[in-house]
Amino acid sequence: MSEGRQQDLLSALVILRPAGEEKPDVGELTADRVHRLVPSPDVVRTVGRWFTARGFEVGDAVGISFALTGPRSLFHGTFGLPEDVPRPEALTTDALPGDVARHISEITFTAPPDFGPAHP
């Protein structure tokens, strides 16, 4: 993949809601409670397929979340972001259909690592 194309890609973490809870309390994510926070396979499939159909690469679900990767323009178009916003810290689900948004607790971006090819 060319360097320009690679820099145009964004990757976010989609945190899903567990059944019956408004928002998972990640601070309460302990071994004895994790089974209650994991979303159903149907929810994972529904949300993942929706993003895949729009052109995103959807990573495997791990626990309560999955990675979402795609070009910056796809994130901007899907989430209704103004073009002058290079990379938000988080995304709202306001522009998503209700049957998808209701399963999402939050969508966040992590800071790029301080190591690797860009940081010798």
117 within domain boundaries = no
- Amino acid 83: pLDDT: 75
- Amino acid 84: pLDDT: 77
Along the 120 residues of the chain, how does pLDDT read in single tens digits?
444 445 588 899 999 987 765 565 566 666 676 677 788 899 999 999 999 999 999 999 988 899 999 998 999 999 988 877 767 778 999 999 999 999 999 999 876 666 666 556
57 within domain boundaries = yes
* Domain tally, the chain: 1
CB 58 within 8 Å of CB 46: no
Measured CA to CA in angstroms, residue 44 lies from 49, 67, 103, 117 at distances of 8, 12, 9, 33
113 within domain boundaries = no
119 within domain boundaries = no
